[in-house]
Amino acid sequence: MNFTRYLKLKNITLRELAIACDIPYATLYNNVEKPESIKAGNLKKISLYLEITMEELFLIMLDKGESLLKVLLEQKESKLTGSIYHFTQVGFAYNTNRIEGSKLTEDETRYIFETNTLISGKGTNNVDDVVETANHFYLFDVMLGEARELITEKTIKKYHKILKNGTSDARKEWFNVGDYKKLPNEVGGKETTNPKNVTIEIRKLLGWYNGLSEITIEEIIDFHYRFELIHPFQDGNGRVGRLIMFKECLKNNIMPFIIEDNYKAYYYRGLSKFREEKNWLIDTCLSMQDKYKGVVNRLLPENKL
């Protein structure tokens, strides 16, 4: 039994625990299953409040059950409809492409995933939307298979190549699918890194990130902001960046999340104002994390996670 389920059985929310023990909610939220990251004094407060020993508390917090990554990999092989893998594939592809302007509906996205065909008689669809949706399904599977590996330049370029393969952009030599941009671009009306400086900036970003002794959700979101600021590809940066966030959450045993299209305005605001107010983007991501966690809890059996 993990700590979240333990609190649920006790009818205590994490926020109530934080208030009762005078511990910042964010501290508990980010370290609830990593007791080694919580100060001994705070662990003592929690054990006293729950009326259990420090040793019992430590063991409960360490028991994560099966990792979500393991479950997703298992369900990928079984191809079970209605599973968390099925939900994630459809929801992730639909929302991440929709944010970038895809006109496919969620039902159309689901139909492509389930049958590898498109619903007919529903109007005109852009071929690139269909191709990129199918590509994203495959890309997600590739990501799952290497989720525990370090993120590298090779990984980033491979993800972009898979996403854009077979699209009209892939037929344009200047577009440079699977490699860094050749032409300057903007995001939200703001200049991004000049093409000639992309390689060095990406390497600096990876050097910083892969050199961290511990990675929390804040570092993953910070990486995402810096990646989008560089905007290394001619197009597809947001989708590659959001997939990397999902991968890094899985790698670090952090509940991942899917940025939903109806939260796009909050997401874009968080990116554009990150230097001035980090919490806007962090809060949006935490809200999406809570929503995804609710689906995980609903779809997985009690002995999972």
What are the C-alpha distances in Å from 266 to residues 180, 261, 285?
28, 10, 10
The answer to whether the 3-62 and 68-299 domains have the same CATH topology is no
Confidence of residue 181 (pLDDT cuts 50, 70, 90): very high
Q: What is the pLDDT of residues 108-120, one digit of tens each?
A: 999 999 999 987 6
Q: Average of pLDDT values for 162-191?
A: 94
Q: Would you call 184 helix, strand, or coil by DSSP?
A: coil
In the chain, the percentage of residues whose pLDDT exceeds 70 is: 92
Give the single-character DSSP code of 190.
Answer: E
Q: Average of pLDDT values for 212-241?
A: 96
Identify which of 2-6, 15-19, 118-122, 143-147 has the greatest average pLDDT: 143-147
Q: Is 258 exposed, middle or buried (0-12, 13-18, 19+ CB in 10 A)?
A: buried
Q: Average of pLDDT values for 141-148?
A: 96
Contact 130, 116 (CB under 8 A): no
The better pLDDT of the pair 251, 6 is held by 251
The better pLDDT of the pair 284, 56 is held by 284
The Cα angle at residue 261 between residues 258 and 265, in degrees rounded to 5: 110
CATH architecture of the region 68-299: Orthogonal Bundle (1.10)
Confidence at residue 42, expressed as pLDDT on a 0 to 100 scale: 87
* Extents of the domains making up the chain: 3-62, 68-299
Contact 182, 195 (CB under 8 A): yes
Q: Is 142 exposed, middle or buried (0-12, 13-18, 19+ CB in 10 A)?
A: middle
Q: Average of pLDDT values for 142-153?
A: 96
Contact 234, 176 (CB under 8 A): yes
Q: Average of pLDDT values for 36-43?
A: 80
Q: Which numeric CATH code is attached to 3-62? A: 1.10.260
